[in-house]
Amino acid sequence: MTIKDKVVVITGASSGIGKATAEVLAKAGAHVVIGARRTDRLAEIANEFDDDQVSYQATDVTNRADVKALVDLAVSKFGKVDVLYNNAGLMPVSPLADLKVDEWEQMIDVNIKGVLYGIAAVLPVMIKQKHGHIITTDSVAGHVVHPGTAVYAGTKYAIQAIMDGLRQEQVDNHIRTTMISPGAVTTELYRTISDDTTREQIKKREETTGLAAEDVAHAVAYAIDQPEKVAINEILLRPVSQQT
């Protein structure tokens, strides 16, 4: 497998898709450097593996210096970064008329600016290497808008533009890009929804019919585990029962 011995940096790695991906890739032989705000959760993941297999550092993706420090940790420890996985995200969905402006700003800070901070941190490293792979968690919401999801979907549509622009700009540097766009997944993402009724509805849907975080992790591994000349630019995956 081409995953073995690759150096992979993952944000939003303390739970859900990020945690599952870190474990899948580490078991496949990658050196994984994980970041999130909850370092106790990161330590639990790292303790499952040898010291050189999983490293971690406190990382708030809304803080550009934190994201750069996470990438710097990978470079200082392993001398390179093969893959950056921008996975951190929030989903406090609500109707626009509710005017939850603070939540809109949080989504923009994490879902868009957090991704841009990741790109800014790793792109100079990958350009110097003349290779690399930048992956970002997008969403089915980056393709379809429903009532109550306008701002969240807007952040995910933005990822489509950012990642495709990055792909086109970095062809000559052999930097691959991938968007992972899952539908309903059983994770803790529903906890970021402030409306009690909406939160419970989404929680029930995800727990009943959602994909497992490991399903998405295997999609990430598939994208990484391709020959260098092959770029899987997007993977869109839903539970079979999800219509839209």
Task: Give the residue numbers annotated as catalytic, written as ranges.
Answer: 152
Neighbours of 185 (CB within 10 A): 23
Indicate the burial class of 180 (C-beta count within 10 angstroms; 0-12, 13-18, 19 or more).
Answer: buried
Say if CB 111 and CB 162 are below 8 A apart: no
Asked if residues 152 and 91 have their Cβ atoms less than 8 Å apart, the reply is yes
Q: Are 127 and 173 in contact (CB under 8 A)?
A: yes
Backbone dihedral angles phi then psi of residue 235, each to the nearest 5 degrees: -125, 120
Within 10 angstroms of residue 44's Cβ, the number of other Cβ atoms is 13
E strand segments, 26-161: 31-36, 54-58, 83-86, 132-137
- From the list 151, 150, 220, 157, the residue with the least C-alpha distance to 185 is 220
Q: Could you tell me which of 10, 5, 6, 118 has the C-alpha nearest to residue 57? A: 10
Longest dimension (CA), the chain: 50
